[in-house]
Amino acid sequence: MNLGWLYALLAYLIWGLFPAYWKPLKAIPATQLIAHRIIWAFVFMVGLLIALRKTSRLRSLLRERSIVRIYAFAALLLAANWLTYVWGVNHGHVVEASLGYFINPLLSVLLGLVVLKEDLRPRQWVAIAFATAGVLYLTLAYGRLPWIALALAGTFATYGLITKTAPLDAIDGLTLETGLLFLPAAGFLVWQEVQGEGAFGHVNALHNAMLIGAGAVTAVPLLAFGAAARRIPLSVLGILQYLSPTLQFLLGVLAYHETFTRVHLLGYGLVWIGVAIFLWESWHHHTAASSMLQISSLE
């Protein structure tokens, strides 16, 4: 199996379990949670760069304005995505948040086709048709504009495209993104502390540790995602992402007892059929290609 698939599976597994990490911190405002994610993720990445002896590389990157502009835009997309997601999870919208990440792969596939000129095989189009039908049905079933879902889908699909085409590797890119947001995030937390509304140091030891740990749980899947984006097509990366919202959905319904009706079952069922078709087709194509390669090597 392509190493990119393994990186993608790691990223989506961690993201799929994210609600379980953020729910215990729901008493802390989402803005502070995002600021802590940024700060501790940057600290984590700097530590990684020091361990890899790559700190001089980061200093040289900051002098290249074109690169800084690209990653500043990516950083803003990340911050908007994180804020929307954490706010949604901690306000009882885990299922709608999962819908956003069901819509996102479709946008990734669309961007892959339109911007990067990637191709899809016939049975992959069938899978996309099922998934699209399911997402449209779920959207209509809400009876309102699912703004949380659409915001999450739009920001992360665009971030995925930038990650796919950006000039830096995953480590340098994420360090630069979080570094560009570090000072605003730190300034915000200092201001919150001065106002007497800061959470860090004023909650129990477990929650303080979880705020610090947010750096690692933020950075690791993003690093895996960045590595995957450079190894497999954006369209394949988008379809694999259905693993993450499926796990989030299961947590929302089974663990947090959010509403799930037969209407939801039909919509999600169509999406899952599409995912199954895509994964089966990809496995079948990979197996056939490997067999042909073996045959040609024997001739």
Query: pLDDT digits over 205-232, tens only?
Result: 898 999 899 889 988 988 888 788 778 7
Q: What is the pLDDT of residue 295?
A: 56
Top-confidence residue, 144 or 78: 78
Q: How far apart are CA 123 and CA 108, in angstroms?
A: 18
Burial, 257: exposed, middle or buried (Cβ in 10 Å; 0-12, 13-18, 19+)?
A: exposed
Cβ-Cβ contacts under 8 Å for 274 (sequence gap 6 or more)? 126, 127, 128, 129, 130, 131, 132, 133, 134, 242
Say what the pLDDT of residue 286 is.
65
Domain spans, the chain: 3-298
d(CA 26, CA 93): 12
- Residue 292 predicted with pLDDT over 80: no
Q: Reply yes or no on whether the pLDDT at 294 is more than 60.
A: no
Cα-Cα end-to-end distance for the chain: 24
Q: Could you report the per-residue pLDDT of 67-119, keeping only the tens digit for each? A: 888 889 999 998 899 889 888 887 888 778 877 877 777 777 778 777 877 77
Kindly state the average pLDDT of the residues 162-169: 78
Give the separation between CA 282 and CA 293, rounded to whole angstroms.
Answer: 16
How do residues 229-285 score in pLDDT, each as one tens digit?
778 776 677 677 778 888 888 888 888 877 777 887 888 788 778 878 877 877 777
Q: Give 1's pLDDT tier (boundaries 50, 70, 90).
A: low
List the structure tokens of 168.
Answer: 């830096």
The two three-digit tokens of residue 43, written as one number: 């600290």
**How many H helices and E strands in the chain?**
13, 0
As a whole-number percent, the residues of the chain with pLDDT over 70 amount to 91
Burial of 169 from C-beta contacts in 10 A (0-12 / 13-18 / 19+): middle
Kindly indicate the confidence band of residue 182, based on its pLDDT and cuts at 50, 70 and 90. very high
pTM score of the predicted model: 0.76
